[in-house]
Amino acid sequence: MCGIIAFTGSLDVIPILLEGLRRLEYRGYDSAGIATVDEAGIHVRRRSGRIAALTSALDDEPLAGNCGISHTRWATHGPATERNAHPHVDEAGDFAVVHNGVIENYLQLRQQLEDDGIIFRSDTDTEVLPHLIARFWSGDLVAAVTRATEVVRGTYGLAVVSRHAPGTIVGARLGSPLVIGIGPHGHSIASDAGALANHAEKVVYLADRQVCRIDANGWSVSTRGAAAVDCATHDLRQLVDVGDADLGGFPHHMLKEIYEQPEALTNAMRGRLDDADATARFGGLNLDPRQLRGVERIIMTACGTSYHAGLVGEYLFEELARIPVEVEYASELRYRNPPVDRNTITLAITQSGETADTLAALRESKRMGHTTLAICNAVGSSIAREADGGVYLHAGTEVGVASTKAFTSQVCVLAMLAIYFGRTRHLSVSQGERLIAELRALPDAVHAALRCHEVVKQVAQRYSHVRNVLYLGRQFLYPVALEGALKLKEISYIHAEGYPAAEMKHGPIALVDEETPSVFLVPRGQVFDKVMSNMQEIKARRGPVIAIASPDDREVAKVADDVIPIPDVPEWLQPIVAAIPLQLLAYEISLLRGCDVDKPRNLAKSVTVE
């Protein structure tokens, strides 16, 4: 994973790099570092831990200059120590490199370099790069970087500086995203466009195997070892919402994003609900009517929370569009060989649009001849650009590592897509009208669901000490049980499992005891009685029960130890409303346990390595 940002121009480079690193911290926060370059040489500051640690290192030992590279790390090879923090330099201190990606043949390359007498100073895969660049140096930095990228295997987004060419930065990309920023006071290279927001006006997306060179006066791109390439520039302001990343008075991004959900859902639906035709409408699907009606199977692919949204999507598509759906973890799909059918489409679901496994699964599906669509939040991200068509969430930047508003917006978009496909098949006008009206009422229902926060706080007090929690639901709410468990695990470090409620008796019920609460998703609906029976089975084994239930449900209150009420909505929309108390519960328990809500240990917001 990791994030890189580099700048060269007429401005003081340090504030630009630090601001860029803060914007990239979602890609990892194990360590951070900066290298500047001038006639005197390369100057490096690195620290393990957050960017704040690097900032105080710079307070103690300041750096200055107009040209530098920087990095925020999510450790893959070697622990999160200062010795492994980027930038990495060659033995003579002539070249410094920051890297996002994984060099898969680094052990072999390291052995060769060590046999030649090179002494390594880190445990990282990255360190082979500065040594290789030094070896291939013959007066041209682009040529040396190009040669080095030809011998490494794996993925990389790189920025390189050299004491032989102060003021010049060379970047290279294969598999890990890289953009060039063009601004009035200089040029930059970064892992994503958001990192450039404070100084660039336009961006250029690099393609795989491209190498770029920037200095204060210009930029150029070439394809490895070949002639210069003409690249399109994009207006940065249309890609990035600069103001989105602040806390707006909330103590944490996660809480802010939970409370933004009514607005995010409104934005996801804006301009997409068509009353005249009783359907949903999308601008960027790029499917002609014949293709649309011809779709016979959908493979949804995603990771983590987005995968759970896909599981809800499976229920929605089967119910509303009558189209068979398979949902597959992207990390599995990318290495599977499912039979290809001309009428199958692959739908990638991703908040960041940069998740390496989802991107690889999308590419593999494309290669096999499938039409690919994406549901994406980050505008201009790799997946958004590479899919044949897609739908943006318009949820605004999601900063908290625990995904909240992206999940509910993804489910909302999947619901609209299911209506859209359904209306080309069997859904009648009156059914379409009813579904559209129910969708319109959704933001208010989510707003009302947020009123459970006070009750959730009390419940959190009672259970914050536990070691295991079960999350149980059926049908549309089974994927929400998985999502509730993921939220709790990732931000409170409590072991949690989500299960279909009826599946408990096939094994997991053995885990139930007085110390293991079960969170039941049991609002009124078709399977209400069945879930109530499952709840009784847990109570009979002395397991504490927290129920997410319809308002004033006396039947539930008689069995459950704690009840968190949510407003009644039609069953197909319950996943969105029921997710709210689970997000709040994970948040409150995380706070009580003193965890870092927005940046939980071992995680990063965007997982850009395999």
| Chain positions contacting ligand M6R, by CB under 6 A | 303-306, 350-352, 355, 358, 401-403, 486, 490, 606-607
Q: Token match 């930029």: residue? A: 219
SS3 492: helix
Nearer to ligand M6R, 172 or 401 (CB): 401
> Which token pair is 309?
């949204």
- Please check whether residue 87 is in contact with residue 46, taking contact to mean a CB–CB distance below 8 angstroms: yes
Q: Minimal distance in Å, beta carbon 512 to ligand M6R?
A: 26
Q: Token match 């068979």: residue? A: 324
- Please check whether residue 523 is in contact with residue 552, taking contact to mean a CB–CB distance below 8 angstroms: no
Nearer to ligand M6R, 110 or 334 (CB): 334
Q: Minimal distance in Å, beta carbon 490 to ligand M6R?
A: 6
Q: Minimal distance in Å, beta carbon 358 to ligand M6R?
A: 5
How far is it between the farthest Cα atoms of the chain?
80
The residues, ordered by sequence, that sit 6+ positions from 587 with a Cβ below 8 Å of its Cβ are: 252, 254, 255, 258, 402, 491, 597
Which helix or strand (DSSP H or E) is residue 565 part of?
strand 562-565
Q: Minimal distance in Å, beta carbon 401 to ligand M6R?
A: 5
Burial class (CB within 10 angstroms; exposed 0-12, middle 13-18, buried 19+) of 217: exposed
> Which token pair is 18?
């630090």
Cα–Cα distance for residue pair 544/518, rounded to 1 Å: 6
Annotated active-site residue 2? The verdict is yes
Output the residue with the shortest Cβ distance to ligand M6R: 304
Nearer to ligand M6R, 6 or 579 (CB): 579
Nearer to ligand M6R, 66 or 358 (CB): 358
Q: Minimal distance in Å, beta carbon 62 to ligand M6R?
A: 35
Nearer to ligand M6R, 37 or 402 (CB): 402
Q: Minimal distance in Å, beta carbon 523 to ligand M6R?
A: 23
Give the residue ranges of DSSP H helices in 190-346.
236-239, 253-259, 261-269, 289-294, 304-316, 330-333
Nearer to ligand M6R, 45 or 489 (CB): 489
What b-and-e string marks burial along 330-369, b requiring 16 or more CB atoms within 10 Å of the CB?
bbebbeeebeeeeebbbbbbbbbbbbbbbbbbbbbbeeee
> Which token pair is 261?
């959900």
Catalytic residues: 2, 605
